[in-house]
């Protein structure tokens, strides 16, 4: 699969893309065209949340404390998790 051919309309499309590409960031980044955001059908992409990012939603009391703890844990361990998830994917 070429990244330029990617168009995500279903969960299966997303799973196939991640399996073939190994990793695919959610949001636009410094590598043009290398994100789910740039290849997903706008009708299924989560948008709208009044411009809130996770931290702003938490600060405004819209996110449970447990979700914030999990978010911070994942954020602090992202490089380790990426390696472990990639290893898991390869073992399937």
Digit-coded pLDDT (tens) for 17-58: 888 888 888 888 888 888 888 888 887 776 555 566 777 888
pTM exceeds cut of 0.75: no
Residue written as token pair 């299924």: 44
Digit-coded pLDDT (tens) for 62-81: 888 988 888 888 777 766 65
Pair 40, 8: CB distance under 8 Å: yes
Length of the chain: 92
Per-residue model confidence (pLDDT) at position 90:
58
Residue written as token pair 């059908």: 41
Per-residue model confidence (pLDDT) at position 5:
81
Per-residue model confidence (pLDDT) at position 92:
54
The total of other beta-carbon atoms located within 10 Å of residue 45's CB is: 13
**CA separation (Å) from 76 to 62, 73, 81?**
22, 5, 10
d(CA 13, CA 41): 11
Per-residue model confidence (pLDDT) at position 84:
58
């Amino acid at each position: 699969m070429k990244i330029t051919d990617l168009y995500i309309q279903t969960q299966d499309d997303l799973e196939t893309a991640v399996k073939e590409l190994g990793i695919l960031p959610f949001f636009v980044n410094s590598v043009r065209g290398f994100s789910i955001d740039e290849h997903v059908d706008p009708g299924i992409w989560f948008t709208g949340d009044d411009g809130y990012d996770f931290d702003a939603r938490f600060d405004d009391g819209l996110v449970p404390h447990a979700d914030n703890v999990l978010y911070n844990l994942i954020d602090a361990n992202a490089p380790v998790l990426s390696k472990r998830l990639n290893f898991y994917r390869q073992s399937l």
